[in-house]
Structure 1
Amino acid sequence: MITGSRIASFTTTAANEDTAACHPLSALLDGLMEAVWLVDGASLRIAAVNPAAQRLLGHAESELLGTSVTALVRTPEDVLFWAEPASRREAGLESEALVGHADGRLLWVMRRIAFVNSGSAAGHWLVTMRDQTRQRETERARDDLRVELEAALNQRLDELSQSDLLTLLPNRVALSGRIDVAVSAARHDGRSLALLNLDLDRFKQINDTLGRGHGDQVLREVAERLRRCIGENDVLARLGGDEYALLLDGADARDAEAAALRVQAELSRPFGFEALNFTVTCSIGIALFSRDGETADELLSSAGQAMHWVKESGRSAYRFHRPRRDVDLLARMRLDHDMRQALTAGQFALRYQPQVSLGSGQVVGAEALIRWRDPLRGDIPPVQFIPVAEESGFIVAMGDWVLQRAVEQAAQWWRAGRRMPVAVNVSALQFQQARFVELVDQTLRAARLPAELLELELTESILLRDADEALRRLEQLAALGVGMSIDDFGTGYSSLAYLKRFPIQRLKIDRSFVRGLPDDGSDAGIVNAIVQMGSALNLNVIAEGVETEAQREFLRAAGCDEFQGYLFARPMDAAAFEERVWSEVAQ
């Protein structure tokens, strides 16, 4: 750095000379490593410049001496400073600046301007420059790289947020966007569009048997097979777990059905891992634009509902969505809400229908049936609210309430010296609850009712969902001493092999087969077959819905053990039941 005293010794001889000829000053500046200009305070012209500054700017000394400093500056800050330098003598200026190179490039420099009191009236300004161009370029390259990396990272994160990590297929978020685009195109072009929701059947067994690693391998293999079932303009996505979706561009109902058949055929080929071969089936729900929805959410919901209907009906099939009117859906929502309120408000009650021996004519049991009386709407038939409760899941809470009240009533009769077995209906969803067996045990213990006085009526759908799990739970219930029967027998798809394995004591003939007796030949044949099968399996057989003497006589002659129905009595409250059948109860 050049000090003011060293500059002052040269100023007397230089004061009256042209600034371009200040050679003594130039000799002093030549020894500096930094690029330096000496600017005359009066004319603001360069009075001296060292070789470092000449190399920095690419100009010869002769080209720079006498040049106005304002011709070389490139920043507004410098322009402002040199406009009134006298007012800034104390502070000077230090900051980054741009200076021009001879080849037209702009150079970044760290520039310091300091006033030097050289003895002249105007003094001199010492301008020191350190080249920062390479550093700035490095920083710029680093910034550009950072921006590029951040953009790539954001793009990758965006891709991951819309991709399934296991199969690399689009996920639900990405599929929703694709559906929205496809819907817009279909609406514009008047084209059709189909969405298939596919869920693997009993995939949990694969995970439990082979392990999650092999389960993941199956999911990837399923994805590869599904790719073969779609066209280049279609979209395959994994919605999560063992659930996939196929968006078929331009597909109508016939195209969607053909795709569902292709999928089933593709998955029907055996899977093999480590010398183990097995088959994977699937349940498929189909929704069509715009019949079943006009948005991604609506189409996904419709296809999902159709798929769940397939699951409930036995799996390994496909089904189109069946539209419901909005009014119907709203009514079901209101009914579901009112139903939940009714349980806490005490609007539900139990009615008991006698079960009668066809041989002795005596009452041998009672079926507990739930009834609902709404303060405003009056009696609401079970056929209206039971399906809604099953669909919403409220059937679990309702079933638990029925179980508790029926067991308490049977316990009251037991303590009064009246042995009256009570049958309670159990829904498939209630039976599948993890604590169901424990709940039955706790309810019996709390009421101090002998377990043999409780019978659980199970639907055939329970046996279809997971036979091994059903058998395990039935054996646990049998260990408690609880009786069990299959309700509405003949309307499902029970396997005779399962009937032999399950600890069932009774079959209940559905009223739909009793209604046509004795004149309908088909009903008569079915009833005779069920009775004979029950006899062969050592199962008690009871018929429900008996309303005429002719029906009762046919059943008695066929060998049926028991019946219930309006012919003997309608469902009634506990007090009326006691009054009606007290004399019929076997002592």
Structure 2
Amino acid sequence: MKVAAFDEVSLGLIGVSLMAALVALLLMMRERWKSARISHQLQVVSSEKRALERGDALTGLLNRKGLDMALDVMASAGPHGVVVVLLDHYRRLRQAFGQEFSDFVIKLAAQRLGSCLPPGATAAHLEGGEFALAIPGGKSDLLEVAELAFQQLALPVQSAKGQLILAASMGVATAGLPEDRGRLIEFASLAAERAGTGLNGEGKICVYDPAFAEEARAQAFFLNDLREAIENKQLRLLFQPKVDAQSLQITAAEALLRWQHPVRGNVAPGVFVPMAEAAGLMGVLGRWVIEESCRVAANWRAMGLRMRVAVNISALQMQEEDLVDHIAQCLGRYGLQPNRFTCEITESVAMQHTATATATFERMRSLGLHVSIDDFGTGYSSLAALRRLPASELKVDRAFIADLEHSEDARSIAASIVSLGKALNLKVVAEGVETQGQCELLMMMGCDELQGFLFSKPISADEMTGMIKGTSQDDGPESLPFSESLFMNTTLSNL
């Protein structure tokens, strides 16, 4: 009986031990399974993180890091290269239409570029309106893809803002020396920027040349000089008079920006203004021109010279929401009337019906500014569009004036523009008048005001004052007599 009891007790203890062991085993297995699950989740998260680090969330394309990795793989496989694609005027488009629409444009461009890729190639969205295509093969292969991409981007598409056609500048760079491997994207970007400026002379696709790097370094130093010139007020304004076509009396002056570089000498606005725009300096530069023009006009006003002063407004300035506020503040600070301040806006810019530009025109109208449509005749203005603009003046483009004495077509166009201006009750100004014959023809056509080297080259504010007062020592305008300004004898109380 004792043995049996012992056996029952032993069996009970063994059962408890087995149960405890089983429970412990199950707990251990659960912990291992839990640990494995956590490890798997961490691997998934890590994999997703690596994918996100290599990819662009907006487009689904690679980003710069992913592109670098793809190029490393291509480098071990054979010849390859990069095509960089810069969407033209992307920053201006984003400012005009907002982030949502600019995102739509980026996604559309990504889809179209992706459709152009040959086997083994890949695409990346670098930033803003900049893309890059990594392509296996030689120069001819890359150019073929670039041409196709250019054509695909140019296909029109309907959007919430109307028909959209994407234009782009493209740069091509092929892998050469081993030390160039990490700089392919940089080289292609330099070529794309050159294509955008039109300096390559081959259209909108440019192949990288080693000389571009040296030019880029020189331009970087030049741009730094421009920044210093703006900060240190080394730029200056010259003024070119506008004269009444019948009396030849000075009625207004156009402010023209000039830069006298300490080493390069006189730098043309056509060189440094595009640089300022590309570097985002145009806002500061444009504000200084407006401020300085108002200061000079106030000095003339104090002398009894009640002239209009004209300032050129760029396309980028037209997209600034506070442009008119700044003009109004300057006018108020110097005690000037809005109708004595002329905003000269080129015809092509005036016809850009962006929301910001339209609002800017309306604010100019409300403030009472004198608005002039510059370079008229070179764009595609419609009569209806002209009537909607708050314009007071048309300026006939100098290209038509240059041929007046020799071309019947030029005379017909100029006469038509004068007639159009009269029909719309707009003052008509001819710029680029250089000969007596041109002057007489424009007078007969009924042009209101004339401007050009026949009367005066651009001169300083002090020289302009001397010219109006008849004390100028400049030899330029002596071939054509000047009368006193129309407003020379106007009293200050009437200004």
Picking from 253, 256, 260, the partner of 2:146 is 256
Alignment of 1:284 onto 2:171: no
Instruction: Give the letter aligned to residue 156 of structure 1.
Output: E
Percent of aligned pairs sharing the same letter: 32
Write out per-residue CA displacement over residues 347-371 of structure 1, whole angstroms, 9 at most, x where no aligned residue: 2222221101111111111111222
1:349 equivalenced with 2:229 (yes/no): no
Which of 172, 182, 189 does residue 78 from structure 2 map onto?
A: 189
Is the Cα–Cα contact under 8 Å of residues 350 and 373 in structure 2 kept in the other structure? no
State the 1:580 CA deviation: 0.8
Contact 1:373 1:379 in 2 (8 A): yes
Residue from 392, 400, 403 that aligns with 2:290: 403
Of 229, 241, 250, 1:363 maps to 250
Contact 1:393 1:429 in 2 (8 A): no
Shift of 1:568: 1.0
For 1:470 and 1:419, the matched residues in 2 are separated by 30
d(CA) in 2 for partners of 1:277, 1:567: 46
Q: Equivalents in 2 of 1:150, 1:460: separation in Å?
A: 60
State yes or no: 1:297 paired with 2:185: yes
| Secondary structure, aligned partner of 2:236 | strand
In 2, are the aligned partners of 1:196 and 1:247 still within 8 Å (CA)? no
Q: Does 1:536 align with 2:436?
A: no
Q: Which residue of 1 aligns with 2:205?
A: 320
| 1:389 and 2:276 are equivalent in the alignment | yes
Give the CA deviation at 1:247. 4.7
**Separation in 2, partners of 1:474, 1:566:** 31
Alignment equivalent of 2:49, drawn from 109, 132, 157: 157
The correspondence for 1:565, drawn from 434, 445, 452, is 452
**Corresponding residue of 1:10:** none
Of residues 283-292 and 390-399 in structure 1, the stretch that sits farther from structure 2 once superposed is 283-292
- Map 1:408-419 → 2, pairs under 5 A: 408-419=295-306
> Does the 8 Å CA contact 2:396/2:430 hold for their aligned counterparts?
yes
Residue correspondence of structure 1 range 76-155 to structure 2 within 5 A: 136-155=28-47
Q: Are 1:457 and 1:486, in contact at CA under 8 Å, matched by a contact in 2?
A: yes
Could you tell me which of 398, 402, 409 is aligned with 1:515? 402
Query: How far did 1:440 drift?
Result: 0.8
Residue type of the partner of 1:282? L
Q: Deviations over 1:363-393 (max 9, x none)?
A: 1111112223344554433333223222222
The alignment partner of 2:404 has SS state of: coil
- Aligned pair partner of 1:585 in 458, 469, 485: 485
Distance 2:220 2:270 in 1: 16
- Residues 179, 544 of structure 1: alpha-carbon distance in 2 compared, 3 angstrom cutoff: farther
SS in 2 for 1:457: strand
Query: Which one has the bigger helix percentage?
Result: 2
Secondary structure of 1:170 counterpart:
coil
Contact 2:86 2:129 in 1 (8 A): no
Residue aligning to 1:175: 67
- Rounded Cα–Cα distance in structure 1 between residues aligned with 2:89 and 2:340: 40
Q: In structure 2, what is the Cα distance between the partners aligned to 1:198 and 1:382? A: 25
Q: Deviations over 1:416-470 (max 9, x none)?
A: 3221111011122122212111101111111110111100111234234444432
Residues 1:389 and 1:204: Cα distance change in structure 2 (over 3 Å): closer
Q: 2:434 aligns with which of 544, 547, 563?
A: 547
For the 8 Å contact 1:451–1:481, the answer to whether it is kept is yes
Change (3 A) 1:262 1:348: closer
- CA distance in structure 2 between the partners assigned to 1:328 and 1:215 by the alignment: 31
Structure 1 Cα separation of the partners of residues 162 and 432 of structure 2: 44
Structure 1 residue 220: Cα displacement: 6.4
Amino acid at match of 1:298: E
Question: Structure 1 residues 174 and 494 mapped into 2: Cα distance closer, same or farther (>3 Å)?
Answer: farther
Amino acid corresponding to residue 576 of structure 1 in structure 2: E
* Deviation (angstroms), 1:168: 3.7
C-alpha separation in 1, matches of 2:335 and 2:238: 22
TM-superposition CA deviations, 1:525-582 (whole Å, max 9, x none): 4433433333333322212222221221222233322211221112222222111123
Q: Aligned Cα RMSD in Å?
A: 4.2
Distance of 1:133 and 1:156 partners within structure 2: 34
User: Which secondary structure state, in structure 2, belongs to the residue aligned with residue 189 of structure 1?
Assistant: coil
One-letter amino acid of the structure 2 residue matched with residue 586 of structure 1: L
Q: What TM-score do you get using the length of structure 2 for normalisation?
A: 0.77
- The structural deviation recorded for 1:522 is 4.9
Q: Does the CA contact (< 8 Å) of 2:192 and 2:205 recur in 1?
A: no
TM-score by length of 1: 0.66
Secondary structure, in 3 states, of the residue corresponding to 1:252? Answer: helix
- Bigger radius of gyration, 1 or 2? 1
Q: 2:377 aligns with which of 486, 490, 496?
A: 490
Secondary structure of the corresponding residue to residue 305 of structure 2: coil
| Partner amino acid, structure 2, of 1:532 | S
Q: What CA deviation, in whole Å up to 9, does each residue of 1:488-514 have, x standing for no partner?
A: 223444444322211111122233333
CA distance in structure 2 between the partners assigned to 1:523 and 1:327 by the alignment: 43
CA distance in 1, matches of 2:231, 2:152: 50
Superposed displacement of residue 228, structure 1 = 4.4
Offset, 1:410: 1.2
Distance in structure 2 (CA, Å) of the matches to 1:388 and 1:206? 21
1:423 is matched with which residue? 310
The equivalent position to 1:446 in structure 2, one of 330, 333, 342, is: 333
Q: Specify whether residues 279 and 450 from structure 1 end up closer, same or farther in structure 2 by C-alpha distance, changes over 3 A only.
A: closer
- Structure 1 match to 2:491: none
- Cα 1:416–1:475 shift into 2, 3 Å: same
Equivalent-residue separation in structure 2 for 1:537 and 1:479 (angstroms): 19
SS at match of 2:204: strand
Aligned mates of 2:171, 2:47 — CA distance in 1? 32
Give the unaligned 5+ runs of structure 2: 1-5, 470-482, 488-495
Evaluate the alpha carbon distance shift between residue 461 and residue 247 of structure 1 in structure 2; reply closer, same or farther with a 3 A threshold: farther
Tell me: CA distance 1:492–1:34, structure 2 relative to 1, closer, same or farther (3 Å).
farther
> RCO (CA 8 Å, sep 6+): is it higher in 1 or 2?
2
CA 1:346–1:162 in structure 2 vs 1: closer, same or farther (change >3 Å)?
Answer: closer
**Is the 1:302–1:321 contact (alpha carbons within 8 Å) kept by the matching residues of 2?**
no
Residues 368 and 424, structure 1, Cα contact 8 Å, conserved in 2: yes
State the SS of the aligned residue for 1:369: strand
How much does 1:585 deviate? 0.6
